[in-house]
Structure 1
């Protein structure tokens, strides 16, 4: 064997025969043929850390702890470890103890065949003849989804990120990516392809998306499974929850009928206020980088309300004027004269984040058709007390006064026998932003 390897490759080698991975490697170093009943003698005086030579790197950390502890207890060789007994060793070190016992007694570890991993798997099909409507290609879509599932099983991979792309005769290419998809489930993949193609069709106002011309037929469809992992997909013990499946199918069907932005999924991120802490993405779309919720958001609202209004409710806010240095009071809005502290004055937030008055009255001023939270009536004043704030946020002044991310300040107001309110001053006006429990 040594001569054959040298002649064929020009490289020197060592050959040995013995039972077990560790014994075989040691016999090769010594050029020995070791009978099975002599394996224990071969390994007896071998240093314990010799096992690292036959272990994959992924297991080095696992056996690192016992290999560091055992020599301190006087167990420095394979024979010394065998003398401890398998039971106590496994009881103390678990799987790591089992691995050490197997190698030191001349056993073999189960190894996994090395497989080249791909970053993505892609399958596609050319439609002949090209299709003018989605329903005529359903069979082809099913076959394509089954091909993708077969490729995943063949590679021993699972993927939860799916991209559907299509190409028309006119050369127009469209694609859509979802996260959280079981790419090994052909039925789920087919549903997403069919609904997405139908949604694109309605969006373009023609039989199929592309250039928009009625004769722009679908010529090619492809699927890409990305973010592959080495764990084989396995079904849940009791199957997938039927309620979850119905909800997902309903969301996808709405997207196919009304567009991708018709169903949004909220994701929490870091931010100064409750609205900026919520990042919405189209249902099923992978989430990009989010601001970390960790860390100190200086000037941020201390607690988010239970209900955040989709459209902030315009209100007027009045209160008792606060004294200013010198004993004077803040001027009333547009009066040009000192305000009488007995009469309510508009509440404002100054350039340094301080209030011009203590809030006492709130008057809703909704736009037509706008929802008004419970306990508030359009045109009716409500007594309020200041419970928290102001929290001033510098914001993005360059986006204009009406932007929800422009400079703003928040207050938490209490009401008698009613939930507290989160109000915000933005662009010179007050709005109810949310309602606490």
Structure 2
């Protein structure tokens, strides 16, 4: 640790990086935003659960044997008094974003790596405040003043190295790593520190247990064997920066609030009062050549309950759209008491040039947008939608309908074990219809536990609607099955298998085996 405490005056050409790290941030955010009805403390044995596994846990839970990645039952067996909460990634981001303005009073250009961890280029702030250590100390003090009693800072030539320094620094302290000591400091760290569990497992089996072992390999050999992900890890282990610095652009302080002298019980009355501040907000942003892409609606009731919901738009909001979002927020969750206050908080803005039309515009697109927005205002939030492809195993799961005026969710990338390969079926039925699949003896064919079929299919009876099964026909070809255990970590667990079947006449079908029988899910043309 002597290299960490020594500090440095030599600055790398790309700029030295400071990383601010808040240990167990998801747990802290869950405690702050807990709505369980009883007080939670960071000193309690807490665990946040996602997909049946421990996503994060408190230090008290770790002391009793709980670890990240454990199955929930195993964690509860190790610590019977363990308190569990569902992990809320949005809560992590929102609460950490609320602390960033305090940090930006000290320095500018902060980039959020993940909720609870942020970085910045420290060269300029170090010259202004006197030293890198002074910058790290000031940032830690700001976090402590706002209730984060365990925060650590690290300074090094790269983000990865600075984060490793922060993780080995005392609470509310700042560690410095000299440029010439970077490689030597990183060398004894385990390959797990790179944050690539799959690659780390392979490297350990190959005898590469530390970052120093990994740096002995040639970069070309790493690329040919482990791809670009391996090259990124190899460069981090050598103390090289491979990430582009993208500092956060703080949202403009254009919050608007309307307070009602008399608490209102009807949504129409609330929306009428919101119309004025919505117009003010859009006008203020327009004066700064900005448009609103995302914002928070905060509704305060007479009993001091606060409802919050974030809305995003694929293009930008106007005043009428803001009022619609307030009404939809009230429709989605009844406030339970009269409303006394509504606040609109901009969360994401963009330059007006980013959404401006071309020189001549697009009248057809504008007419479609106006018609869709009008229908949505009359019929509701989900009345008009845009289709898009999403992640999933079956064709029906990949079809998504996003409400008009809402930013589409990003596609969840694979690997989706048990997914259906190409080509995709041409017709996907809204609801699967009954089907039969039998062998030569007339016995029902079923999937086996080893991922095969109990017998070769000989006859298939399918239907394209709910009126019943049509006459059985001989099977000419079949492929599959593709089996999957879906949501096996929850009470909604479901074992499925999909099979492609071609009849003698040439008709091709996609069959789904679920709930103990076969269903017609789609048709190939």
| TM-score (norm. length: structure 1) | 0.52
TM-superposed CA distance for 1:169, in Å, is 1.3
CA distance in 1, matches of 2:298, 2:277: 12
Candidates 291, 298, 301, aligned match of 2:412:
291
Pair 1:413-2:501 in alignment: yes
* Aligned positions of 1:22-171 closer than 5 A: 117-119=249-251, 121-171=254-304
Q: Go from structure 1 to structure 2 and tell me whether the alpha carbon gap of 1:250 and 1:359 turns closer, same or farther (over 3 Å shift).
A: farther
Q: Go from structure 1 to structure 2 and tell me whether the alpha carbon gap of 1:386 and 1:423 turns closer, same or farther (over 3 Å shift).
A: farther
TM-superposed CA distance for 1:136, in Å, is 3.3
RMSD in angstroms over aligned alpha carbons? 3.6
Confirm or deny: 8 A CA contact 2:486 2:496 kept in the other structure: no
TM-superposed CA distance for 1:184, in Å, is 5.0
**In structure 1, what is the equivalent of residue 453 of structure 2?**
355
CA distance in 2, matches of 1:133, 1:377: 45
Pair 1:304-2:402 in alignment: no
Q: Go from structure 1 to structure 2 and tell me whether the alpha carbon gap of 1:428 and 1:361 turns closer, same or farther (over 3 Å shift).
A: same
TM-superposed CA distance for 1:246, in Å, is 2.2
Confirm or deny: 8 A CA contact 1:162 1:181 kept in the other structure: no
CA distance in 2, matches of 1:196, 1:417: 53
TM-superposed CA distance for 1:183, in Å, is 4.5
CA distance in 2, matches of 1:408, 1:177: 35
**In structure 1, what is the equivalent of residue 464 of structure 2?**
373
CA distance in 2, matches of 1:230, 1:195: 27
SS at match of 2:393: coil
CA distance in 2, matches of 1:248, 1:379: 42
Confirm or deny: 8 A CA contact 1:159 1:181 kept in the other structure: no
SS at match of 2:372: helix
CA distance in 1, matches of 2:338, 2:490: 45
SS at match of 2:434: strand
Q: Go from structure 1 to structure 2 and tell me whether the alpha carbon gap of 1:184 and 1:291 turns closer, same or farther (over 3 Å shift).
A: closer
Confirm or deny: 8 A CA contact 2:300 2:306 kept in the other structure: yes
| Residues 8-43 of structure 1 deviation map (CA, whole Å, 9 limit, x = unaligned) | xxxxxxxxxxxxxxxxxxxxxxxxxxxxxxxxxxxx
**In structure 2, what is the equivalent of residue 314 of structure 1?**
434
**In structure 2, what is the equivalent of residue 430 of structure 1?**
518
| Residues 348-380 of structure 1 deviation map (CA, whole Å, 9 limit, x = unaligned) | 22233333333233345xxxxxxx516x85154
SS at match of 1:145: helix
CA distance in 1, matches of 2:322, 2:398: 32
Candidates 218, 223, 243, aligned match of 2:368:
243
SS at match of 1:344: coil
TM-superposed CA distance for 1:422, in Å, is 0.5
Pair 1:226-2:347 in alignment: yes
Confirm or deny: 8 A CA contact 2:445 2:455 kept in the other structure: yes
Unaligned runs of 5+ in 1: 1-115, 204-208, 321-342, 365-371
Unaligned runs of 5+ in 2: 1-247
TM-superposed CA distance for 1:144, in Å, is 1.2
* Aligned positions of 1:183-332 closer than 5 A: 183=316, 185-197=318-330, 199-200=331-332, 209-211=334-336, 216-232=337-353, 233-235=355-357, 237-239=361-363, 240-251=365-376, 253-255=378-380, 267-278=388-399, 284-288=405-409, 290-292=411-413, 300-320=420-440
| Residues 249-286 of structure 1 deviation map (CA, whole Å, 9 limit, x = unaligned) | 43454446xxx6x7776542344332443456666554
| TM-score (norm. length: structure 2) | 0.45
Q: Go from structure 1 to structure 2 and tell me whether the alpha carbon gap of 1:241 and 1:280 turns closer, same or farther (over 3 Å shift).
A: closer
Confirm or deny: 8 A CA contact 2:375 2:384 kept in the other structure: no
| Residues 126-155 of structure 1 deviation map (CA, whole Å, 9 limit, x = unaligned) | 122333323334543221111111221233
SS at match of 1:228: strand
Q: Go from structure 1 to structure 2 and tell me whether the alpha carbon gap of 1:192 and 1:246 turns closer, same or farther (over 3 Å shift).
A: farther
TM-superposed CA distance for 1:423, in Å, is 0.2
Confirm or deny: 8 A CA contact 2:294 2:347 kept in the other structure: yes
Q: Go from structure 1 to structure 2 and tell me whether the alpha carbon gap of 1:191 and 1:377 turns closer, same or farther (over 3 Å shift).
A: closer
TM-superposed CA distance for 1:426, in Å, is 2.4
SS at match of 2:269: helix
